[in-house]
Chain A
Amino acid sequence: MSASPRPAATTDAVSDARLSGNRTAFVTIVRKEIRRFMRIWVQTIVPPAVNAILYMLIFGGLIGSRISDMDGFRYLDYIVPGLIMMSVIINSYSNVSSSFFSAKMQNYVEEMLVAPISNVTILAGFVIGGVVRGLTVGLLVSFVALFFSDVVPVHPLITISVALLTSVMFALGGLINAVFAKTFDDISIVPNFVLTPLTYLGGVFYSITLLPEPWGTVSLFNPVLYMVNGFRYGILGASDIPILHSFIVILIFIAVLGSIAMTLLHRGIGIKS
């Protein structure tokens, strides 16, 4: 190929075309991802809402009425932010892990790999698909909570930001899981044996100030604690963790997981030979 430089106008036109093409590809991936989880809404949207109703009935109506206030809030009101965040985390993660893994196993990920799409577009498309499902389920659980609790967000912007960033973080985690997974068991291990315990132990149902040492300190190493408490701060205005710390931890995780995901896609690990 000739090394002579192209005229600037041509280079700009090529860049514009590439940008426009990637934008269309991004929209296509997001649309496909949303259509996928909406097509199977009975499996993807309904169960978290049913779970939320059960939690609120049991912990709010039955057991919660016998539990004293937590950090000055009625117990049911205290756990509502954690329940919403739990559904956001699990659903953002599961959407990307199962969708990307299916694409990999049935080889239709190749449709994207042979197309002129940048890796960042593929990553962004899947992540936004996961975010949309996570936030959709989060909204549904919030709607269910309205029947049991009358809390309204004290800091709406912080509430939305924490939910959004947390879902981005777990969607990235879901993609990394799918890249390494070889069987469907591999994509259920992390949600069942890592995410659920971390979420339950991440202050959804209690304040870590109630824990004896060293468990209070140990809990600080649980990243989910920062998300649940950041979200609780947005809704109730109360948190075990300074809100700035929550944002810092979430952003660090997004940067690290995003870099890992990009490296995996760039090297084609698990998807190219």
Chain B
Amino acid sequence: MNALSLRGVVKTYGDDTHALGGIDLAVPQGDFFALLGPNGAGKSTAIGIICSLVTKTAGEVEVFGHDIDHEREHAKALIGLVPQEFNFNVFEAVEDILMNVAGYNGIRRAVAKRRTEKYLKRLDLWDKRRTQARNLSGGMKRRLMIARALVHEPRLLILDEPTAGVDIEIRRSMWEFLTELNSEQGTTIILTTHYLEEAEALCRNVAIIDQGAIVEQGAVAELLSRARFETFVLDVRGIPEASSDFAPFTVRSRDDGKLEVDVPQGETLNILFELMGRAGIEITSLRNKSNRLEEFFLKLVHRDEAAAGVAGGAGQ
């Protein structure tokens, strides 16, 4: 059974603004799934429809086989949502926020108290349980929203850019937590993110959405295998002469004296090192300019704002 199925889902605002143009999506039970797309592609609209925050114009949505139109309460009980924007009462204490949401999900107080303690401890917020939410740091607020989404122990967890604006250490700990949740508890996770390395590191399957349409869907490994090349940035001593031939690699000099090299899929770096050595160039260090999923993503969406959105977030 699929954890989530979307069939022909359309969302139109007014007469002529098409946020979603009839998307089909299937997320298998137990999957760790990435929904990628540039700003304004329709990711948040799709999530809003799944979680009943946005009214769809047409189409069908099922959560573990429960249609959100006919079995809305069943479907909602199975979903936990971590939205992009903070959406809790900033004047309430951390503990009260979780207790309230547990109550909204029909969980009795005794059980809700145990779950609140469990998830606040797992997200390192137990010491802050009596703190008003407005006094938390940005990273803590993100973790609070994850704890809140888990307090009713949903089978499908949807995270809309959960690591936006958090530092690397917290991001890594959130990755570990989500991986554990997926592998140990079997929770199906759907993630939208601008950090494509995040999707590559965590997710098994991915869908890329652009201008309200799914432009690609499949296993991350399979999509990566279709990426044509990977770009590296090299710190070097020496400047390549114009006549130097580095085929099959494409080499570009940058203003900061570094080189950018496109390495076609299947080629090894050993050959590159050899060609550079022959040209009298010493390589002192190298790093990825961007990950391969990002290259693939950019190739697919082909839009200026997509490039801006991804370049701003990738690899930070």
Contact = CB atoms under 8 A, between A and B. Distances in A.
Interface of A: 1, 14, 17-18, 20-25, 27-29, 31-32, 102-103, 106-108, 110-118, 267-268, 272-273
Interface string B86-125: 1111100000100111011111100000000000000000
How big is chain B's contact interface, by range? 35 or more
A45 to B, nearest CB: 18
B83 interface: yes
Q: Which among B48, B72, B89 has the greatest number of chain A C-beta atoms within 10 A? A: B89
Contacts of A106: 87-90
A272 B54 contact: yes
A24 B106 contact: yes
B89 A112 contact: no
Interface in B43-82: 48, 51-55, 62, 65, 67, 72-74, 76-77, 79, 81
A115 B76 contact: yes
A180 to B, nearest CB: 18
B89 A103 contact: yes
B167 interface: no
Contacts of B176: none
Give the interface SS of chain A, mostly helix, strand, loop or mixed: helix
Given A106-B88, A114-B81, A273-B13, 16 more contacts: A21-B106, A24-B103, A24-B108, A25-B105, A28-B99, A103-B89, A106-B89, A111-B87, A111-B148, A114-B51, A114-B52, A115-B76, A116-B73, A116-B106, A267-B55, A272-B53
B67 A28 contact: no
Contact of A25 (B79, B81, B89, B106): B106
Contacts of B77: 21, 116
Contacts of B105: 21, 25, 115-116
Please name the 5 residue pairs, one residue from A and one from B, whose CB atoms are nearest each other, closest first.
A21-B106, A28-B103, A115-B104, A107-B87, A116-B73
B73 A118 contact: yes
Q: Which among B13, B55, B104 has the greatest number of chain A C-beta atoms within 10 A? A: B104
Nearest to A21: B106
B274 interface: no
Interface of B: 13, 48, 51-55, 62, 65, 67, 72-74, 76-77, 79, 81, 83, 85-90, 96, 99-101, 103-108, 148, 152
Contacts of B74: 14, 116
B103 A27 contact: yes
B53 A110 contact: yes
Contacts of B96: 32
Nearest to B99: A28
Contacts of A108: 87-89
A100 to B, nearest CB: 12
A23 B87 CA distance: 24
A272 B11 CA distance: 13
B48 A273 contact: yes
B104 A273 contact: no
Given A24-B107, A106-B90, A116-B106, A111 B54 contact: no
Contacts of A114: 51-53, 76, 79, 81
